[in-house]
Amino acid sequence: MFGNLQPQAPDKILALMGEFRADTRQGKIDLGVGVYKDPTGVTPVMRAVKEAERRIWEAETTKAYTALGGEPAYLSAMSRLVLGETLDADRTAALSTVGGTGAIRQALELARIGNPGLTLHVSDPTWPNHVSMARFLGIPVAEYRYFDEASRGVDFEGMKADIGRARAGDLVLLHGCCHNPTGANLTADQWAEVSAILARTGAVPFVDLAYQGFGDGLDEDAAGTRLIVANAPEALVAASCSKNFGIYRERTGVLLAKVEGRAARDLAAGTMAFLNRQTYSFPPDHGARIVQTILDDAALAADWRAELEEVRLGMLSLRRQLAGEMRSLTGTNRFDFIEHHRGMFSRLGATPAQVQRIRDEHAIYMVGDSRLNIAGLNEGSVPVLARALVEAGV
Ligand code: PLP
Ligand code: TYF
């Protein structure tokens, strides 16, 4: 049996983490994996998370199983964080999942039960796991145009033409904010246009919201998601708490399914809990409890929001500094897109050979497609990166 196993292609981003660790050069810079780092290079535990953990530890009297679909208080707190005022609780089923990835996996499984013939439409490019999970499940994947290599913005005409070809019952995956890997995002008007196209075709929006609070603010980053979910008769949202709560390893996420009414909601919720049972039974509790403790306590929530805002503003300031540095080194505004992109990532548009050269000559690690993690920089390393980019002829 096990003789039949084939080696699996490694995840390039995770492989890069290993290569960076193995590099013994002084002053090496990790701009690879999408994990937030503060200016000292540390991925901190947020203050509110520490405090919530203390309270949980003190109050917790049992480790008995919770609920198959997750704790209702967590589900309701996350539904409100994601959908805000637009939440229609009568029509929204929620599921606690193993991170945002678990929510994506369960969303694909749920959609496939609903429509076994569906195609998943993803942006070109997208987070590699979107494609690999769909393929693993045997779901056909179609790419829609998204990134405009010339402007490093969104090729919106191409995107509209391609998603316009999705059939009724297909899933169209949209990054809610902070597009991974490009950093290029839709404007509010463009979200509205996408929503109208989906309404015309009957394709179902599936929003991956992994960086709420990392772009323009918590509500701002959810605005596109809220609009598209409010306008669609049916929609899926996979939200991750890994980044905005900094609880990566706790594996905390939520799947929201907006459906046609109360009966459909109960049916969807039952099917979603069933999917948890078929995959890993009860979802992990600790991260969900942290998130719920924070969101349901006004003072803790305010402190969390303030710290998240510092993180967001820090990344924006690094974007500005890098764009400015590139302006003065190149004498052009070719790199201003770095300032316009949002979230942790920007795709620079360097060739694989240039990315490799920058790694070899400067020990600066970016993903092969020239995605860089802005949070891997600090004020001191921005000029180092800028010089390396210019030297490599990017
Ligand atoms: N979706 C995107 C676009 C991501 O970048 C990530 C990052 O890890 C995830 C989903 C899933 O995050 P996690 O499963 O760690 O919560
Ligand atoms: O894109 C990233 O870097 C993050 C982290 O298999 C990540 O989303 C990368 C690859 C992976 C899991 C998480």
Ligand 2 midpoint to CA 180 (Å):
9
Ligand 2 midpoint to CA 377 (Å):
18
Within this chain, do residues 106 and 244 fall inside the same structural domain, yes or no? yes
Within this chain, do residues 184 and 307 fall inside the same structural domain, yes or no? no
Examine the residue annotation and report whether 258 is marked as an active-site residue of this protein. no
Q: Of 278, 296, 314, which one is at a domain's C-terminal end?
A: 296
User: How many structural domains are present in the chain?
Assistant: 2
Terminal alpha carbon distance of the chain:
49
Q: Of 296, 329, 357, which one is at a domain's C-terminal end?
A: 296
8, 16, 129, 367, best to mutate for ligand 2 pocket (most atoms within 8 Å of CB): 129
Within this chain, do residues 93 and 220 fall inside the same structural domain, yes or no? yes
Range of the domain at 180: 65-296
Q: What is the pLDDT of residue 174?
A: 98
Percent with pLDDT over 90 in the chain: 99
Within this chain, do residues 125 and 258 fall inside the same structural domain, yes or no? yes
Tell me the pLDDT band of 91, cut-offs 50, 70 and 90: very high
| Averaged pLDDT for residues 343-369 | 96
Q: What is the pLDDT of residue 234?
A: 98
Examine the residue annotation and report whether 48 is marked as an active-site residue of this protein. no
Examine the residue annotation and report whether 88 is marked as an active-site residue of this protein. no
Tell me the pLDDT band of 322, cut-offs 50, 70 and 90: very high
Examine the residue annotation and report whether 127 is marked as an active-site residue of this protein. yes
Q: What is the pLDDT of residue 337?
A: 98
In a domain, 122, yes or no: yes
Within this chain, do residues 83 and 193 fall inside the same structural domain, yes or no? yes
Indicate which atom in ligand 1 lies nearest the CA of residue 248.
15
11, 17, 78, 101, best to mutate for ligand 1 pocket (most atoms within 8 Å of CB): 101
In a domain, 57, yes or no: no
This model's pTM is above 0.95: yes
In a domain, 2, yes or no: no
Q: Of 273, 296, 319, which one is at a domain's C-terminal end?
A: 296
In a domain, 60, yes or no: no
Atom 5 (ligand 2) nearest CA: 34
What pLDDT, in 10s, does the model give residues 130-172? 999 999 999 999 999 999 999 999 999 999 999 999 999 999 9
Q: What is the pLDDT of residue 294?
A: 98
Answer for the pair 304, 259: CB distance below 8 angstroms, yes or no. Answer: no
Q: What is the pLDDT of residue 194?
A: 98
| Averaged pLDDT for residues 332-360 | 97
What pLDDT, in 10s, does the model give residues 9-29? 889 999 999 999 999 999 999
Ligand 2 midpoint to CA 341 (Å):
19
Tell me the pLDDT band of 72, cut-offs 50, 70 and 90: very high
- Structure tokens, 56: 């949980």
| Averaged pLDDT for residues 367-382 | 97
Tell me the pLDDT band of 47, cut-offs 50, 70 and 90: very high
What pLDDT, in 10s, does the model give residues 189-209? 999 999 999 999 999 999 999
In a domain, 52, yes or no: no
Tell me the pLDDT band of 374, cut-offs 50, 70 and 90: very high
What pLDDT, in 10s, does the model give residues 215-253? 999 999 999 999 999 999 999 999 999 999 999 999 999
Could you report the predicted ipTM of this complex, rounded to two decimals?
Answer: 0.98
Within this chain, do residues 226 and 349 fall inside the same structural domain, yes or no? no
Mean pLDDT of the chain: 97
Within this chain, do residues 79 and 97 fall inside the same structural domain, yes or no? yes
Within this chain, do residues 244 and 348 fall inside the same structural domain, yes or no? no
Tell me the pLDDT band of 279, cut-offs 50, 70 and 90: very high
Indicate which atom in ligand 2 lies nearest the CA of residue 14.
10
CATH number, domain with residue 379: 3.90.1150.10
CA distance 48 to 115: 41
Within this chain, do residues 133 and 209 fall inside the same structural domain, yes or no? yes
Within this chain, do residues 221 and 308 fall inside the same structural domain, yes or no? no
CATH number, domain with residue 164: 3.40.640.10
